Amino acid sequence: MYFTGAELSNFRNYEHETIDFHRKVNVILGKNAQGKTNLLEALYMTSFGKSFRHARDTDMIRIGTKYAGIKAGFVRDSLEMTVEIGLIRGGKSIRVDGVNLKKTSQLLNTIHIVLFSPDDLRIVKDEPAKRRRFIDRELCQVSAVYYSELSGYQRALQQRNAVLRSERPDSGILDIWDLELAKYGASVTARRDAFIRGLSEVSAEIHRDLTDGREQLRTVYSPSVPLTGSPSEQREQLLEVFRENRQNDLERRTTGRGPHRDDLSMYIDDLEVRKFGSQGQQRTAALSLKLAEISMIRRETGDEPVLLLDDVLSELDQTRQRQLMSSFSDIQIFLTSTEMDREMSRKIPDHTVFYVENGTVSPGKY
Ligand SMILES: Nc1ncnc2c1ncn2[C@@H]1O[C@H](COP(=O)(O)OP(=O)(O)OP(=O)(O)O)[C@@H](O)[C@H]1O
Ligand SMILES: [Mg+2]
C-alpha cells in the first residue's frame, strides 16, 4: 500500500496542512522542533490509532484548540481509500472510507506501517519491555486475534494485580483471574513463539547479507514460562505456574511470572548480542530485525508496508545507510532528517523533498 496524501488539522504544531505524497520516497527536511516527527506520527496514527511516542490522544490536539483531525488517502490493492482520525478531548473517532469504526482494533490490518527510529537501534540492549512492545506491535498489526487475546491477557492481569493489592485478597476471585490469565496467556505465548520463529529465519537471512555472510544471527523467544504440548496442556502448565506463585505474588502484591515478562534474545554465532556484541553488531542486528519486520508483514498480509524512518539515517554509518536504502525496493518511504547532503540525496532513488518549518510543509527541489 502507499499513501497518496494527507490533511492535518490542528494536529500537534500543524494548523491546517494538505500534502500530496510521492509514491516512492518522501524526504522530510527541517530544523529541530519544526514538525517532522509530528508528520510521521500523524501517518502512524492512521495505522495504529495511537501514537508511538507514549503520548495521550489529547496531547496531539494543537494547544489552544479543541479538535484535531488527520485525513489520509491511500491505495491498497489498487483501491483508493481514505482514513480519518478525529480527536477531541476525551474521545476519538475513526473512519475508513466514511464508515465509522467502533473500535480502534478494527483499524489494524488496514494500513501497514513499519516505523524505524533511533530508539529501535537500541532494541537489542534496551530493557525487555521494549522488545515485548516490538513483538506485540508487529503481531497486532498482522493478527486481529492476537490483538484481542493480548487485550484479554492485559485486562486479566490488571484485575489479578488489583486483587493482590487489595486489603484482603479473595482467593476465589484470584482463582477466576488465574484461569483467565492461563487461557489468554497460553495463546499469546504460542503466537509469539510462531511469529519469532518466522522473524528469526528472515532476519538471519538479512543479517547474512548485511555482513557479507560473515555472521550468523539467531533470534530466540525467551518466554517467562516456557510451554510445551497441546494448547490445553499449555494452558494447564501456565495455570499451574500462577497457582504455584500465588503465595509469592500475594507477598509482593503483583504477578511475578507470565507472558508479561517475556523477552527476545539475539545471538551472533552463539554469543548473546546484548552481552557480547560490539556496538556495530548490536546496530546491525537491530537493522536486520527491523528489515525482517517488513518481510514479515508482506508474508503475513500480502501487503507492502509503508516505511517511516525517523532520524535514523544520520545514526547509521555509510555502509549501513547504503544497505538500508538498497532494501527499499518498491515500498513507500517517509524519512526525516535535519540535513541531507547532495551525495546522500543522489543515493536515494526517485523522491520528493519536503521542507518543514514551524508546522508548514512546502515541497521543494533538491
Ligand atoms: N499539541 C501540540 N500543540 C502545539 N504544538 C505542539 C504540540 N505537540 C507538540 N508540539 C510542538 O511540536 C514541535 C515538535 O515537533 P516534532 O517533534 O515534529 O519536531 P521535529 O521536527 O521532529 O524535530 P527534531 O528534529 O528535534 O526531532 C515542538 O516544538 C512542540 O512544541
Ligand atoms: Mg523529530
Q: What is the CATH number of the domain that holds 150?
A: 1.20.1050.90
Q: What share of the chain is helix, strand, coil (3-state, %, to 5)?
A: 45, 25, 30
- In the reported structure, the alpha carbon of residue 34 is separated from the centroid of ligand 1 by a whole-number distance in angstroms of 6
Q: Is 192 in the pocket of ligand 1 (CB under 6 A)?
A: no
The total domain count for the chain is: 2
Question: Which letter does DSSP use for residue 106 in this model?
Answer: G
Q: Are residues 150 and 262 in the same domain?
A: yes
Q: Are residues 2 and 68 in the same domain?
A: yes
Instruction: Give the pLDDT confidence score for residue 105 in this predicted structure.
Output: 86
> 194: which 3 cell numbers?
510462531
Encode the chain (366 residues) as per-residue pLDDT tens digits: 999 999 999 999 999 999 999 999 999 999 999 999 999 999 999 999 999 998 999 999 999 999 999 999 999 999 999 999 999 998 999 999 999 999 888 898 899 999 999 888 889 999 999 999 999 999 999 998 999 999 999 999 999 999 999 999 999 999 999 999 999 999 999 999 999 999 999 999 999 988 989 999 999 999 999 999 999 999 999 999 999 999 999 999 999 999 999 999 999 999 999 999 999 899 999 999 999 999 999 999 999 999 999 998 888 888 888 778 877 778 999 999 998 777 777 777 788 999 999 999 998 865
Rounded distance between C-alpha atoms, residue 194 and residue 213, angstroms: 26
Q: Which helix (H) or strand (E) holds 342?
A: helix 342-347
In a domain, 119, yes or no: no
Q: Are residues 87 and 143 in the same domain?
A: no
Question: Which letter does DSSP use for residue 52 in this model?
Answer: S
Q: Are residues 227 and 216 in the same domain?
A: yes
Distance (Å) of CA 244 to CA 38, 175, 263: 47, 12, 22
Distance (Å) of CA 150 to CA 136, 137, 182, 265, 283: 8, 11, 12, 21, 29
Q: Are residues 141 and 281 in the same domain?
A: yes
Instruction: Give the pLDDT confidence score for residue 109 in this predicted structure.
Output: 85
Rounded distance between C-alpha atoms, residue 147 and residue 160, angstroms: 20
Q: Are residues 97 and 49 in the same domain?
A: yes
Rounded to 5 degrees, φ, ψ at 26 are: -115, 115
Q: Are residues 70 and 4 in the same domain?
A: yes
> 214: which 3 cell numbers?
560473515
Q: Are residues 175 and 233 in the same domain?
A: yes
User: CATH no. for residue 340?
Assistant: 3.40.50.300
Instruction: Give the pLDDT confidence score for residue 192 in this predicted structure.
Output: 97
User: What is the domain range of residue 363?
Assistant: 1-112+304-366
In a domain, 37, yes or no: yes
- In the reported structure, the alpha carbon of residue 237 is separated from the centroid of ligand 2 by a whole-number distance in angstroms of 45
The closest of 113, 119, 49 to 86, measured between CA atoms, is 49
Final residue of a structural domain among 302, 320, 338: 302
Instruction: Give the pLDDT confidence score for residue 346 in this predicted structure.
Output: 77
Instruction: Give the pLDDT confidence score for residue 366 in this predicted structure.
Output: 52
In a domain, 283, yes or no: yes
Any bridge partners for residue 336, and if so which? 28, 310
Pocket residue to mutate for ligand 1, from 8, 9, 12, most atoms within 8 A of Cβ: 12
Pair 75, 1: CB distance under 8 Å: yes
Q: Is 30 in the pocket of ligand 1 (CB under 6 A)?
A: yes
Distance between start and end Cα atoms, the chain: 26
Collapse the DSSP code of 11 into the 3-class scheme (helix H, G, I; strand E, B; otherwise coil) and give the result.
Answer: strand
In a domain, 17, yes or no: yes
Instruction: Give the pLDDT confidence score for residue 365 in this predicted structure.
Output: 60
Q: Are residues 279 and 188 in the same domain?
A: yes
Q: Are residues 319 and 256 in the same domain?
A: no
Q: Residue 55: nearest ligand to its CA?
A: 1
Instruction: Give the pLDDT confidence score for residue 315 in this predicted structure.
Output: 82
Quickly tell me which residue has 493482590 as its cell: 164
- In the reported structure, the alpha carbon of residue 226 is separated from the centroid of ligand 1 by a whole-number distance in angstroms of 43
Q: Are residues 180 and 144 in the same domain?
A: yes
Q: Are residues 66 and 130 in the same domain?
A: no
Final residue of a structural domain among 302, 325, 349: 302
Q: Is 228 in the pocket of ligand 1 (CB under 6 A)?
A: no
In a domain, 72, yes or no: yes
In a domain, 117, yes or no: no
Rounded distance between C-alpha atoms, residue 292 and residue 298, angstroms: 10
Final residue of a structural domain among 302, 318, 342: 302
- In the reported structure, the alpha carbon of residue 103 is separated from the centroid of ligand 2 by a whole-number distance in angstroms of 29
Any bridge partners for residue 11, and if so which? 14, 61
